[in-house]
Amino acid sequence: MNFAVLQFPASNCDQDAIHAIRSLGHSARYVWHKENSLGDADAVIVPGGFSYGDYLRCGAIARFSPVMQAVKQFADRGGLVLGICNGFQVLTEAGLLPGALVRNRDLQFHCEHIFLQTVTADSPFTNKIPSGKPLRVPIAHGEGCYFADEETLAKLKANNQVLWQYCDASGNLADQANPNGSLQSIAGICNERRNVAGLMPHPERACELALGSDDGKWIFESIFAALQNKTAVKAA
Amino acid sequence: MKAKIIVTPKKAVVDPQGKTVQVALEQMGYQNIRAVHVGKYLEIELDGGDREAARKALDEAAHKFLSNPVIEDYHLEIE
């Protein structure tokens, strides 16, 4: 499988994403933000970092870069897109995912390992995650508090679009296990069509035991499986 | 011409920054503070004199880019 990993000015998890995908046996390459095309890609990763210095709002400027128009077209055709951390913020700003990410409730930048409960296996991003297994992955963000109005939250629930929630080591939802104050402990969601997803935690930083956890690989394995199981939508 | 745009968090969005500033003000002895909301102020200098065209364009820009309608409100003034 061939992954396109976007690079904006001040992306800083692009290399981690490339490394994780390659170490899991697939190919990945960088796509610069000024490109108008994704090239030959089976899936797109919008990586973490501080695109455009987080100026104005996180992700607000990246969203208007030329490559995001290509990502939008790819997503509209059913292509798989995963936004990680700042990538999640970019996708919400672009309107590809509902809601927004705001300042952590304690105003602190959180850099730590947390646990994720996978809410549903019914998505290209979660289908291979062992049932009931809390995933131990790192977070590193100051603005990861998920917000959406009540109507949007109800819709997310009705359509089973919440993919991951913050939990404790045993997999239980608890306010203390919610690092940033996200509504309903939401750590990651997908769109209604289920081909675009975003999450604040960093699975790409947890794909090998030398890094303290390899739980993040299940998210990538899910994407590989989804791409193998169907005729993939390719970027032109 | 100059445009002034004030962006503030929507009331439904938790504003920990505003809350922290409020607590600090109270600790400094300032009284009767009901709430503090921390937002952004943008000043845009404009060439040309068509006020209404500028208002229309900036209203669109504020909605599309300068604010995020999911979490923020804005107020636009042209002077």
The whole-number pLDDT of residue A235 equals: 62
Residue A111 lies in a domain: yes
- Judge whether A19 counts as a catalytic residue: no
Span B2-78 CATH architecture: 2-Layer Sandwich (3.30)
How many domains does chain A divide into? Answer: 1
Per-residue pLDDT at A99:
98
Domain membership flag for residue A97: yes
Query: Is A85 part of the annotated catalytic residue set?
Result: yes
Q: Which pLDDT tens digits describe chain A residue by residue (236 residues)? A: 999 999 999 999 999 999 999 999 999 999 999 999 999 999 999 999 999 999 999 999 999 999 999 999 999 999 999 999 999 999 999 999 999 999 999 999 999 999 999 999 999 999 999 999 999 999 999 999 999 999 999 999 999 999 999 999 999 999 999 999 999 999 999 999 999 999 999 999 999 999 999 999 999 999 999 999 875 566 65
Instruction: Give the chain A residue whose CA is nearest to the CA of B13.
Output: A147
- A200: containing domain: 2-229
Candidates A57, A92, A107; nearest CB to B20 = A107
On chain B, the residues whose CB falls within 8 A of the CB of A147 are: 13-14, 70-71
Could you tell me whether strands A110-118 and B40-45 are parallel, antiparallel, or unpaired per DSSP bridges?
Answer: unpaired
**Does residue A235 fall inside a structural domain?**
no
- The reply to whether B41 touches chain A by the CB within 8 Å rule is no
Residue A138 zone, left/alpha/beta (φ > 0; ψ -120 to 50; rest): beta
> Is residue A236 situated within a structural domain?
no
In a domain, A53, yes or no: yes
* Domain-wise residue ranges, chain B: 2-78
What string of pLDDT tens digits covers the 79 residues of chain B? Answer: 999 999 999 998 989 999 999 999 999 999 999 999 999 999 999 998 899 999 999 999 999 999 999 999 999 999 8
Q: Give the pLDDT of residue B74.
A: 98
**With left for phi above 0 and alpha for psi between -120 and 50, is residue A179 left, alpha or beta?**
alpha
ipTM value for the complex: 0.87
**Active-site pick, A85, A145, A167, A207:** A85
Whether chain B has a CB inside 8 Å of the CB on A75: the answer is no
pLDDT value at residue A236: 55
Cβ–Cβ of B14/A105 closer than 8 Å?
A: yes
How confident is the model at residue B49, as a pLDDT?
84
Helices and strands counted in chain B (H then E): 2, 3
The CATH number of the domain holding residue A104 is 3.40.50.880
Q: Is the CB of B14 less than 8 angstroms away from the CB of A106?
A: no
Instruction: Output the pLDDT for position A13.
Output: 97
